[in-house]
C-alpha cells in the first residue's frame, strides 16, 4: 500500500503573537516552529496501516526551507521518504496550497492520502477535502478507525454529539483523520539516525504550476481579539490567591 501523508510546519503553540507593521500578518521573527499536532495523528495512522498491510509511507510537506525540520521528524518516526515542495507559506489560501500538494501526489499515484484534521495556525480544516476534489478521489473526514479491504476502505467517522458512522469507499481515496485516532509514537534514536539517510525529494513550487493565489478570499488585516474578562482575578502569591478564591467560592458563590 502506497500512502502519502500530508504534514505541515506551524508556529509553536506558545509563540508570542505580535501584529506586523503591515497589519496583515504577525511578526515572523518572533516565532519558533513545530510540527502540526493534527498531522502527527495522520502520520501515526499512515505508519500503522503500512505496518499492517506493507508498502511505504511518503511524507509530503509544502513550506519554506525551515520545514525540513518537520520532514526529518516524520522520517525519524518511520516515514520511508519525503517530498518537500519548496514554497512560501500560502496558509491564507487553502486552495493554492492544496493545488501544489495535489500536483505532487498525482505523480506518486498513491493508494491512500492521509491528512490531519486541521492546522494549528490557520485552522482551515480543508486541505484533505480539497485534495480529494482536485485528485478526483472519494474521501471521508473526522476518521476514527480505518480498515483496509480488497481495493476498498471502511472507516469509522465521528459525527456530532457522540454519534458515529461507518463509511465504505473504493481505493484510492483520501481521509482526514480525527486527532486522537491512535497513540502517537516518539522517534527512536535509531529512527533519528536512519532519517538522515532517507530520500527527501525537493520540488520547486514553480515546477508544479507555481503558487499563484487561487482563492477569492483575501486577508485584509489581522487583529488581536479584544478580551472581555468578566472573571474576578486573584493575584498575589499562589497561597494568597488560593485563599481569596476559596473565600469567594464559599461566601459569595456558595459553591463549596
Partner 1 sequence: MSVLAVLEQRAGEWNRMSFETLAAAQQLALELGVPASAAVLGGAVQALAAELAGKRFHTVYAVEHELLAEYTPDGYVLALRQLLERVKPTLVLFPHTYQVRDFLPKLAASVGRAAVCDAIAHRVEGGQPALVRQLFQGRLNADVRFSGDGPHFASLQAGAYRADSVAEGAARVEIFTPRMEAEAIRTRPGKPFRDSQRAVDLGAAESIVAVGRGIGDAGSIELVRRLADVLGAELAASRPVCDAGWLPMERQVGSSGQTVAPRMYVAVGISGAIQHLVGMKGSRTIVAINKDPHAPIFEVAGYGIVGDLFQVLPELIGAIRESQ
Residues 185-244 within binding reach of partner 1 (CB under 8 A): 214-225, 227-235, 238-239, 241-243
Least distance from partner 1 to the Cβ atom of residue 164, Å: 6
**Binders of partner 1 among 13-52, rule CB under 8 A?**
17, 26, 41
Site string for partner 1, 159-178 (x = CB under 8 A): xx-xxxxxxxxx--------
- Specify the stretch interacting with partner 1 by CB under 8 A; choose among 105-113, 153-161, 187-195, 204-212: 153-161
What long-range pairs does 136-139 form, CB within 8 A, spacing at least 24? 137/113, 137/172, 137/173, 137/174, 138/169, 138/170, 138/173, 138/174, 139/169, 139/173, 139/174, 139/175, 139/176
Least distance from partner 1 to the Cβ atom of residue 199, Å: 30
- Specify whether the CB–CB gap between 175 and 114 falls below 8 A: yes
Q: Judged by CB under 8 A, how many residues of this single chain contact partner 1?
A: 78
Least distance from partner 1 to the Cβ atom of residue 110, Å: 17
- Specify the stretch interacting with partner 1 by CB under 8 A; choose among 59-67, 70-78, 86-94, 190-198: 86-94
Q: Tell me whether residue 196 or residue 239 sits nearer to partner 1 (CB atom).
A: 239
112 φ, ψ (degrees, to nearest 5): -145, 140
The number of angstroms, rounded, from the C-alpha of 175 to the middle of its chain's C-alpha atoms is: 13
Between CA 215 and CA 224, with CA 219 as vertex, the angle to 5 degrees is 150
The whole-angstrom separation of Cα 93 and Cα 127 is 10
Q: Tell me whether residue 9 or residue 126 sits nearer to partner 1 (CB atom).
A: 126
**Binders of partner 1 among 108-147, rule CB under 8 A?**
120-126, 129-130, 132-134, 138-142
Least distance from partner 1 to the Cβ atom of residue 197, Å: 31
Q: How many CA within 13 A on the CB side of residue 50?
A: 23
Least distance from partner 1 to the Cβ atom of residue 97, Å: 10
The grid coordinates listed for 103 are: 500536483
Q: How many CA within 13 A on the CB side of residue 134?
A: 21
Per CB under 8 A, does 98 bind partner 1?
Answer: yes
Amino acid at each position: 500500500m502506497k500512502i502519502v501523508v500530508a504534514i505541515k510546519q506551524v508556529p509553536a503553540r506558545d509563540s508570542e503573537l505580535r501584529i506586523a507593521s503591515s497589519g496583515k500578518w504577525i511578526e515572523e521573527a518572533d516565532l519558533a516552529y513545530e510540527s502540526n499536532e493534527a498531522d502527527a495523528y495522520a502520520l501515526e495512522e499512515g505508519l500503522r496501516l503500512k505496518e499492517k498491510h506493507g508498502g511505504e509511507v511518503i511524507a509530503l510537506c509544502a513550506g519554506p526551507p525551515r520545514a525540513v525540520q518537520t520532514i526529518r521528524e516524520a522520517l525519524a518516526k518511520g516515514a520511508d521518504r519525503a517530498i518537500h515542495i519548496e514554497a512560501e507559506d500560502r496558509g491564507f489560501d487553502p486552495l493554492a496550497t492544496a493545488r501544489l500538494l495535489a500536483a505532487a501526489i498525482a505523480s506518486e499515484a498513491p493508494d491512500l492520502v492521509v491528512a490531519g484534521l486541521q492546522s494549528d495556525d490557520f485552522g482551515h480544516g480543508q486541505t484533505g477535502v480539497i485534495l480529494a476534489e482536485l485528485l478526483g478521489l472519494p474521501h471521508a473526514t473526522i476518521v476514527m478507525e480505518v480498515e483496509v479491504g480488497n481495493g476498498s476502505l471502511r472507516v469509522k467517522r465521528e459525527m456530532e454529539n457522540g454519534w458515529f458512522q461507518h463509511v465504505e469507499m473504493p481505493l484510492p481515496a483520501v481521509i482526514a483523520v480525527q486527532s486522537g485516532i491512535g497513540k502517537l509514537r516518539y522517534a527512536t534514536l535509531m529512527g533519528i539516525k536512519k532519517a538522515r539517510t532517507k530520500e527527501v525529494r525537493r520540488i520547486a513550487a514553480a515546477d508544479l504550476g507555481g503558487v499563484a493565489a487561487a482563492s477569492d478570499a483575501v486577508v485584509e488585516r489581522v487583529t488581536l481579539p479584544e478580551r472581555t474578562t468578566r472573571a474576578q482575578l486573584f493575584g498575589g502569591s499562589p497561597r494568597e490567591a488560593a485563599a481569596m478564591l476559596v473565600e469567594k467560592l464559599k461566601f459569595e458563590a456558595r459553591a463549596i
